[in-house]
Amino acid sequence: MRVLITAGPTYEPLDPVRFLGNRSTGKMGYALAEAFAAAGATVTLVSGPTNLPDPIPATIVTVRVETAAQMFAAAGAEAETADVWVFAAAVADYRPAAVATEKIKKSGETLTLELVKNVDIAATLGQRKRPEQFAVGFALETTNELAHAQDKLHRKGFDLIVINSLRDAGAGFGHDTNQVTVLDRAGAVLNFGLRKKTDLAADLVALVLARCQPPSGVGSGG
Ligand code: CTP
């Protein structure tokens, strides 16, 4: 089984020394890469900038990128041959319309940046997803979690969506623990109580493997 995972933030450059980014650490995506590898899968981990070392197992290839456009290119190159897609990256929705070639100097009391929309990696790849491919998305919501996540699941062609709520203590960016709710296309809701991201990753991998039918089965050797 081949698995494609996006992880971490994206950095969108503004000038040679500055960028727009977010607080994603990549921990959840890296933990999923390790858990899929432990289950016998071959993994491509497309990672935005993180402080994490490349995962060690030889069955995980880590591709380092910086921007959403680079992440899209790297993920797009692997999407067709992957059986499972996991979109764990916190992709910047917008990037600066222009990247200054020199450092932007301080001038007026205010500075207005023009931003343009980035490609939605999950939604764009979702349009060319084959029926036997299985896609998992993540959603970070602060209000109406289930309704927003359900909308994203259908809009982006996910089979499962993992919902992080910023209202939950110990969940989300920067923590070693996470507490999530998983929603499927039929509307079924599964709650995973607070646990280490590495344990949650193993539980999510088990859920995905139970839901998708690889042609020959993970670890079956044929
Ligand atoms: N995603 C992506 N490319 C983007 C934005 C998001 O692949 N440009 C993926 C994320 O990796 C995640 C899912 O889409 O799996 C949901 O991301 P989220 O940021 O919550 O959704 P948005 O569509 O950006 O919705 P909003 O920011 O309005 O809540």
- Among 65, 116, 129, 138, which residue has the most ligand 1 atoms within 8 Å of its CB, making it the best to mutate? 138
As a dihedral over the C-alpha atoms of residue 164, residue 209, residue 79, residue 162, rounded to 10 degrees, the angle is: -10
pLDDT tens for 155-214 read 999 999 999 877 666 766 667 888 899 999 999 999 999 999 999 999 999 999 999 865
Rounded CA gap, 54 and 75, in Å? 17
Mean pLDDT of all residues belonging to the chain:
93
Residue 93 in this model has a pLDDT that exceeds 80: yes
Residue 216 in this model has a pLDDT that exceeds 60: no
- Coil, helix or strand at residue 13: strand
Rounded CA gap, 215 and 222, in Å? 9
Q: Using the atom order of ligand 1, give the atom closest to the CA of residue 155.
A: 23
Q: Are 191 and 63 in contact (CB under 8 A)?
A: no
Q: Using the atom order of ligand 1, give the atom closest to the CA of residue 161.
A: 15
Q: Which residues line ligand 1 (CB under 6 A)?
A: 6, 68, 87, 89, 91, 93, 118, 120-122, 137-140, 152, 156
Query: Hey, whose CA ends up nearest to atom 20 of ligand 1?
Result: 139
% of the chain exceeding 90 in pLDDT: 85
Residue 217 in this model has a pLDDT that exceeds 80: no
Active site residues: 22
Confidence category of residue 140, pLDDT binned at 50, 70, 90 = confident
**Range of weakest confidence among 12-16, 97-101, 216-220:** 216-220
Cβ-Cβ contacts under 8 Å for 124 (sequence gap 6 or more) = 72
Cβ-Cβ contacts under 8 Å for 21 (sequence gap 6 or more) = 9, 10, 11, 12, 49, 92
Ligand 1 centre to CA of 220 (Å) is: 34
Residue 50 in this model has a pLDDT that exceeds 60: yes
Q: Using the atom order of ligand 1, give the atom closest to the CA of residue 158.
A: 15
Residue 219 in this model has a pLDDT that exceeds 80: no
Instruction: Give the CA count within 13 Å in the CB-facing half-sphere of 47.
Output: 25
Domains and CATH numbers, the chain: 2-96+112-211 (3.40.50.10300)
Ligand 1 centre to CA of 204 (Å) is: 19
pLDDT at 221: 46
pLDDT at 222: 42
For Cα atoms 11, 54, 49, give the angle at the middle one, nearest 5 degrees.
Answer: 5
Residue 135 in this model has a pLDDT that exceeds 60: yes
pLDDT at 171: 67
Predicted model pTM = 0.93
Ligand 1 centre to CA of 90 (Å) is: 7
Ligand 1 centre to CA of 222 (Å) is: 35
pLDDT tens for 54-69 read 999 999 999 999 999 9
Tokens read off for 100: 């200054």
